[in-house]
Amino acid sequence: MKRSRLVLVIGALAVILVTPGAALADAPTNDLITSATPTTAVPFAVEQDTTEANGDGPRICSNNASVFYSFRPDADVRVQVDTLGSDYDTVLTVLRGPLSDPRLVKCNDDRLGLASAVRFNAQAGVRYILMVASCCRFGRDGGGSLSLSVAPVPTDAFTVSVVPTAGTIDSISGDLQLEGTVECTHRSAGYLSGSVRQRRDDLYVAQAWFEVAFECTGTGTWTGDVSLEGNVGFASGDARVRFGYYARDGYSWTDTSGQVEVITLT
């Protein structure tokens, strides 16, 4: 669809009307590989706005908008680096060697949904460069809200528990927003799917199918929209949810099906 523009012409001069606004934001301080944010501690986690990042990193795995962290462990450790919790599609690259000619250790895109994750054996005293770039943009610039984690690879069993606990009804459409809890032993992402059904006069008259994506970094909550099927809307009261879920920590997976919970709709 074409967009129209309003241009005010005075004589031979075209005057562009501009609404006053804030000055352009500066690029992140770790926008260049030579200004990577350093860390030695494990675990390490950071939140960063990469909206103004530029695509000026090494042309390895991705050259879109990128920020950099340097990681030099005090002892040998097998680590997982991931971007779980970021609000944009990331590409994660691990490099080592001279900054003028870095060598690839690992890179990944979309191991945990749209989040990236890699595991590698980090050697004591060796500097590793973590480059987080945006994926699949038509332009080279711009990221989003980045969540970056560096932590030892877990050695315990991978388990996940996802439970629907309640639902809120849209008074106009009769649709639902489900909510619930999620708990996991490993940082992970997955999908919860199933059906919601509500009885009236001993008949299931309101029902819907749903699929909700979730992320887990320990213990937390999730929400997901459920679109009504049929002509009968949900009403306040109890409803039956039959569900299953699939979750992956990037390297192993777990799933379950046929779970049932009775929740209260309000």
pLDDT tens-digit map of 124-149: 999 999 999 988 754 456 788 999 99
**Nearest in space to 230 (alpha carbons), one of 210, 195, 212, 205:** 205
* pTM score, whole prediction: 0.81
pLDDT for 6 beyond 50: no
Lowest mean pLDDT among 8-12, 51-55, 173-177: 8-12
Tell me which fold the domain 160-265 belongs to: Immunoglobulin-like (2.60.40)
Tell me the range of 62-71, 100-109, 222-231 where mean pLDDT is highest.
100-109
In eight-state DSSP terms, residue 23 is P
pLDDT for 17 beyond 50: no
**Average pLDDT for residues 228-249, to the nearest whole number?**
92
* Domain segments of the chain as ranges: 27-152, 160-265
**What is the SS3 assignment for 33?**
helix
Torsion angles phi and psi, residue 34, rounded to 5: -75, -10
pLDDT for 154 beyond 80: yes
For the chain, the distance separating the N- and C-terminal CA atoms, rounded to the nearest angstrom, is: 41
User: Is 27-152 a domain of CATH 2.60.120.380?
Assistant: yes
